[in-house]
Amino acid sequence: MYDVIVVGGGPAGLSAALVFGRQRRRVLVVDGGRVRNAPADEMHMYLSRDGFPPSELLALGRAELAAYPTVEVRAGSVVTARGAKEDFAVELADGTVERARRLVLATGQVDEPYRIEGLPERFGRGVFHCPFCHGWETTGKTLAVITREPAEAMLALYVADRFSDDVVLCTDGPLDLADGVAKKLGERGVRVVSTPIARLTGEPGALEVHFADGEVLAREAVYHRAPTRQHASLAAGLGCEILPDGTVRVDELQQTTVPGVAAAGDTAKLPAVPDAVTLVSLGAADGVRAAVWMEGDLFRSDLGEI
């Protein structure tokens, strides 16, 4: 019986494990090894590691955890989780079953770029999802924003405001833009191209958007906020409340609606937050917060009635 099983070994899960390890708790981290920013060469906005390769951050984190003998990090995939506070059981894809008194779900999200030829494989390398993560690197560059969502026209306006005066909004077919938005795009010099996109070619820094009518648009960078889904459905299986956007509802202490189960990082959201803000630093902070409060709960359980 572990004290805690952490599912997911990204920034959120490893940070939670560090807290538990330092409190001498027996903790098992099970990790599928596919963090969300894996396709990117660099990660930004993590103080002291700005521009660092995401894989190196994880390697450093794992090396630090190795100093704590009660922490075990295991490669694997958790397929089911069940039970209740003080006795949870998780089953791994290899059939192993492990038990723990508490669970931390830090399984992240998966991006699903549009199935336009050449787009999925460039997502994260030349095709960026987030102006906070990669906007600075696109300063002064020729940009395209690819989206079929009217609300995402705001992304084109944003990058035109912050980073470039040459932005083209590519809607891959007709898009019903509100009059006010269309007016602002015009005022800011953002051209809208609604011709369907045939494919994307080129290298990071020199991309080409090929349209169905044969036109080709050369761009130094492309933005595409891909639809996302949860990486795992373990929270729902445990009975945790899931918010309409698919994230796991947590409170200010990262605890889910099921006692003994916390969630951290991209998978978790406070209901009051309008949009999931998903960043490495916030995931790491969530993991620490989840673990600190869960540690207190474990301690109080062990102490018994006072």
Question: Where on the chain is the footprint of ligand FAD (CB under 6 A)?
Answer: 7-13, 30-37, 39-40, 43-46, 77-78, 106-108, 111, 124, 129, 133, 231-232, 265-266, 278-281, 283
Our CB check for ligand FAD shows the closer of 8 and 120 to be 8
> Is there a contact between 192 and 146 (Cβ–Cβ < 8 Å)?
no
Q: How far is the CB of 7 from ligand FAD (least distance, A)?
A: 5
The single-letter code of the amino acid at 23 is Q
The single-letter code of the amino acid at 20 is F
Q: How far is the CB of 226 from ligand FAD (least distance, A)?
A: 8
CA distance 166 to 156: 10
Q: How far is the CB of 42 from ligand FAD (least distance, A)?
A: 7
Q: How far is the CB of 19 from ligand FAD (least distance, A)?
A: 14
Our CB check for ligand FAD shows the closer of 7 and 185 to be 7
CA distance 54 to 56: 5
Our CB check for ligand FAD shows the closer of 36 and 219 to be 36
Our CB check for ligand FAD shows the closer of 95 and 304 to be 95
Our CB check for ligand FAD shows the closer of 140 and 227 to be 227
CA distance 140 to 163: 6
Q: How far is the CB of 179 from ligand FAD (least distance, A)?
A: 33
Angle made by CA atoms 55, 288, 28, in degrees to the nearest 5: 70
DSSP 29-83: EEE-S--TTTT-S-B-SSTT-TTB-HHHHHHHHHHHHTT-TTEEEEE--EEEEEE
Q: How far is CA 29 from the centre of its chain?
A: 18
Q: How far is the CB of 182 from ligand FAD (least distance, A)?
A: 29
Our CB check for ligand FAD shows the closer of 36 and 101 to be 36
Our CB check for ligand FAD shows the closer of 185 and 200 to be 200
Q: Between the CA of residue 153 and those of 87, 168, 171, what are the distances in Å?
A: 48, 10, 9
Q: How far is the CB of 43 from ligand FAD (least distance, A)?
A: 4
Q: Are strands 71-75 and 78-84 parallel, antiparallel or unpaired?
A: unpaired
